[in-house]
Amino acid sequence: MKPDWNGKRVTILGGARQGQGAARWFARHGAHVTVNDRRTSEQMATARSALADTPVTWVLGSHPVEILDATDIVCLSGGVPLDNPIVVEALRRGIPLTNDTQVFMEIVPCQTIGITGSAGKTTTTTLVGRMAKTAFGDRVFVGGNIGDPLLNYVDKMKPDDLAILEISSFQLEQMTLSPNVATVLNVRPNHLDRHKTMETYAAAKQRILNFQGTGDTAVLSREDPGSWRLRGKVNCRLISFGVGDISVKQDGSFLSDDILHLRDRGMDIPLLRRDQIQLRGVHNLMNVLAAFAIGLAASLPLDAMREAAEVFRGVPHRLELV
């Protein structure tokens, strides 16, 4: 059952993009919303202006634990670590934690694709979004850790829509739901100032797989040891991607004779020549192979995937000629 937020006291830690999206959604659904940010009122002037039409209480300049006295649930923005004193105190008091992506996953009515990884998330998510929009147009929503939080749009989504999310390790820390198609592109040393150890960081990435059901699909990289070692945690269909060939018993994408292929239940499907890919670098070839594997997992039409991959030139500020 979907949670009933009417009358609940929600404290949102962090008033940037994610916090603002969550504040609007919770207020629209009847919650009493407090937005808390350690930045000053002057520093938060733009955020306060953006939420001027939303009934929220602002607590700025610090994270006073006293606000927990009137809090039923704490919603964390991505920049707020779990060892923040107010978060530690909330856990000590037994106050539940959530974030905008967790709330979205609790109520989204349609199929979901989630993409995480230490590198390549934005490029891969954007390309999968282009593939899906080429096929389904306005029925596709792309966001999460890029663009707008999808919580801004979930109320108008329909069962036959498709939601594609880039998900960071910060968001995954509180999540107890997994997307229908869950992808781990790679797991390499990153954000260790936040996660402290590689074990903790890898455990956060693994959470995207932990709550999948038998009807879902996991997508992992055969070439990245951090991603591939998670295959033992997969409890549903597994699709892989990589430059090298794959076992005849596996489904996924690969490169053979400079042609990108998909293998689907034993059948090899040629896709594009490598020189038809506009993105530069082996890392971007991996991103394209990942996107095709995700498209296979989500049953995207082959023609739409080919068309989008052939014209895709990357996201702004990535290997651009200036």
Quote the tokens at residue 11.
């404290």
- Catalytic pick among 8, 84, 190, 191: 191
Alpha-carbon torsion 284, 265, 105, 178, what sign? Answer: negative
- Catalytic pick among 121, 133, 195, 261: 121
195 belongs to the catalytic site: no
Q: Which H or E run contains 288?
A: helix 282-297
Q: Which H or E run contains 73?
A: strand 73-76
191 belongs to the catalytic site: yes
Quote the tokens at residue 284.
């971007």
The phi, psi pair for 43, rounded to 5°, reads: -65, -25
List of residues 6+ apart from 192 with CB closer than 8 A: 198, 201
| Pairwise CA distance, residues 91 & 13, whole Å | 14
63 belongs to the catalytic site: no
Name which of 8, 48, 58 is nearest 32 in CA terms: 8
Name which of 148, 184, 180 is nearest 162 in CA terms: 180
Sequence-ordered strand ranges (E) for 87-224: 97-98, 111-116, 140-144, 162-166, 181-184, 217-221
List of residues 6+ apart from 12 with CB closer than 8 A: 19, 22, 23, 26, 33, 34, 35, 36, 74, 75, 77
Name which of 122, 98, 99, 96 is nearest 16 in CA terms: 99
Query: 3-state class of 310 per DSSP?
Result: helix
| Pairwise CA distance, residues 242 & 288, whole Å | 10
- Catalytic pick among 145, 152, 180, 284: 145
Q: Which residues are catalytic?
A: 121, 145, 191
